[in-house]
Structure 1
Amino acid sequence: MVHASIPSPPISSFNIGPLTIHFYALCILVGIVIAVWLTQRRLAQHGAEKGTVIDIALWAVPFGIIGGRFYHVVTHPNDYFFPGADLWKTLFVWEGGLAIFGGILFGGIGAFIACHRKGIRFWAFADALAPGLLLAQAFGRFGNYFNHELYGGPTTLPWGLQIESTNAAFPPGLPAGTLFHPLFLYEMIWNIAGAFLIIYIERRLRLHSGETLALYFIWYGSGRAFFEWLRLDPTEFTFLGLKANVIAALLLAIAGVILLAIQLRRKLPYPDNAYRPGREPKTASRTPPATDGQTESTPERLREGTP
């Protein structure tokens, strides 16, 4: 008999007429909404117009979904490519299977294109996005809970996760009723803590352009590498004994360290506003630049009251 544990949800979707709504997709949508709201609030402090982040998201989100699905399918070919397989299922995002690493790469490309079209400085947008992105990823992990996925090894802790023995990732040889570490919950807590930590650091320190994004890469990449190392889900790609996702997460963290080192050396001050010179909307308010061509006092001013 199982006591004091986390039960897996009995359902992962519900129907509204002929339409099937998956909780996994709802969690992702909620995360996107929160990220857009927080990013808009933060970017508005740099003079961005209302609705700017929505315009960017219209490019970044589709690119991110395509990239996330592409990465997942490529790294799990046996799930989709076999005799008699329905190849249309490679597009069924609502059934689960969005890899954040592909989403970050392709979503970043979409955001860069959108920022160029809108005249927004990409670094300003990326720094404003970082905390909201962590919150969005936390909600995405909650979607893994409904799909009965993302769990670690057996545990007797009170918060052990119940997983049915018929689950494809259930380790052979273990008895039914075995509890597992709820990695989805651990990563949710890690991401939420990271979002608040980054905001706290921004308030306490005078960060420069790109440094907030670098902190996101380091925090998320290091944590994700650890959680992926503990994860029981089968993987088809390994290198030097490491799973593909562990390698990708480590590379992300390393990229963050490199980016932070570069930006610390360059010490690029935050611009007066989020727009590139000559692209400011006529209705946007702008803080006059400092007389010496630098905005030495601007970063500290912008940090005060940053959400």
Structure 2
Amino acid sequence: MTGVISRTAFDIFGIDIYWYAIIIISGVIIAMWLSSREAVRVGLREDDVTDFMLAGLPIAFIGARLYYVLFNIGPYLNDPIQIFNLRSGGLAIYGGLIAGGIWLLIFCQRNFIPTWTFLDIAAPSVLIAQAIGRWGNFANHEAYGPITTRSFLENLHIPNFIIENVYIEGAYRQPTFLYESVWSVLGFVLLIILRKKTGLLKKGEIALAYVIWYSFGRFFIEGLRTDSLYLFGGIRVSQLLSLVLFFASWILIVCRRKKKAPLKNYDRTQGKNQRII
């Protein structure tokens, strides 16, 4: 095969720097920039996003790693030191989202920032970061689906360099990383459109729309992947969690809208650099 991408982008003093790390960091930087711009528009400070990310990013990585290890514990019981070997791979998006979400609740309480407002700011940016991050899986030749044919891939009208790089272990594979990346980009565009429609959504519903969109797509895409984490009985962890999050988000939207006290609309017109309390 020609044109196969190496996992290593370059090396510094003999230490390999992987494309995976470069791509993930790029996604985080773009997400921070987008979130900071939106924070200012709704009356928060740009520094609020930076302050959140200073601790939030390492917490999210720890959560992503712990999630992966807990649901794939066997190999790590035999060699526990490998838990800390991040260069070997093994991060789970859902684990990062859960850990990051817990930190967000704590951060907002400490800094007197409305939690739903901050979640609405972050949601579209997280989706675009996830879309970018999946290309790290592409560079690592991981997060792929079952065996398929080259003609099937060509009929998807995807670039040839992608087709060449999903030839893995002697066969062409479904590019599930690409499916999720495209789904996340579409979700990002949708959330941005919804966010600009004044009065359409209530505060917090942009964040809930993110959960609904991502969990719906992830449920079906996860069913194609060959590297899923499993619970008892062959149940895929991410599919089960996707179902829970999807229905819980819809229930939360309905319950919040039925409350007697009216919910505020998501408002992007408040004065700059004025903290909302």
- TM-score of Structure 1 vs Structure 2, range by shorter chain: 0.7 to 0.9
- Pick one of 214, 232, 235 that aligns with 1:220: 214
* Structure 2: runs of 5 or more not aligned: none
Partner of 2:124: 131
Please tell me the root mean square deviation across aligned C-alpha atoms, in Å. Answer: 2.6
Q: Are residues 1:229 and 2:233 paired?
A: no
Q: Secondary structure in 2 aligned to 1:127?
A: helix
Partner of 2:41: 45
Q: Are residues 1:30 and 2:26 paired?
A: yes
- Pick one of 11, 16, 20 that aligns with 1:20: 16
Q: Secondary structure in 2 aligned to 1:269?
A: coil
Q: Secondary structure in 2 aligned to 1:51?
A: helix
| Deviation per residue, 1:88-141 (Å, 9 max, x gap) | 321223432111111111101111222222221111000111100001111111
Q: Would the alpha carbon gap of residues 69 and 139 (structure 1) be closer, same or farther in structure 2, given more than 3 Å must change? A: same
Partner of 1:173: none
Partner of 1:148: 141
| Deviation per residue, 1:145-189 (Å, 9 max, x gap) | 111111112222214453332xxxxxxxxxx2x211111011100
- Pick one of 29, 51, 54 that aligns with 2:50: 54
Partner of 1:258: 251
The CA distance in 2 between the partners of 1:284 and 1:232, in whole Å, is 47
State the shift of 1:144 in Å.
Answer: 0.5
- Pick one of 229, 246, 261 that aligns with 2:239: 246
Map of 1:1-307 to 2, 5 A cutoff? 8-82=4-78, 85=79, 87-156=80-149, 157=152, 158=154, 159=158, 160=163, 161-165=165-169, 176=170, 178-204=171-197, 206-233=200-227, 235=229, 237-266=230-259, 267-270=262-265, 284-285=273-274
Q: Would the alpha carbon gap of residues 7 and 243 (structure 1) be closer, same or farther in structure 2, given more than 3 Å must change? A: farther
Identical-pair percentage: 34
Q: Secondary structure in 2 aligned to 1:20?
A: strand
State the shift of 1:274 in Å.
Answer: 11
Q: Would the alpha carbon gap of residues 273 and 285 (structure 1) be closer, same or farther in structure 2, given more than 3 Å must change? A: farther
Q: Point out the structure with max Rg over C-alpha.
A: 1
State the shift of 1:270 in Å.
Answer: 4.2
* Structure 1: runs of 5 or more not aligned: 166-175, 288-307
Moved more, 263-272 or 91-100: 263-272
The CA distance in 1 between the partners of 2:130 and 2:99, in whole Å, is 16
Q: Secondary structure in 1 aligned to 2:200?
A: coil
The CA distance in 1 between the partners of 2:4 and 2:134, in whole Å, is 14
The CA distance in 1 between the partners of 2:142 and 2:215, in whole Å, is 20
TM-score normalised by the chain length of structure 2: 0.85
Task: Check conservation: 1:130, 1:216, Cα contact below 8 A.
Answer: yes
Letter in 2 for 1:47: G
Letter in 2 for 1:192: V
Letter in 1 for 2:30: I
The CA distance in 1 between the partners of 2:87 and 2:225, in whole Å, is 22
Letter in 2 for 1:269: K
Higher helix share: 2
Moved more, 205-214 or 16-25: 16-25
Q: Would the alpha carbon gap of residues 37 and 241 (structure 1) be closer, same or farther in structure 2, given more than 3 Å must change? A: same
State the shift of 1:55 in Å.
Answer: 0.5
| Deviation per residue, 1:194-238 (Å, 9 max, x gap) | 011111122235211111111011100011111111101264x23
Instruction: Count the aligned residue pairs.
Output: 262
Task: Check conservation: 2:42, 2:269, Cα contact below 8 A.
Answer: yes
Letter in 2 for 1:222: F
The CA distance in 1 between the partners of 2:241 and 2:120, in whole Å, is 21
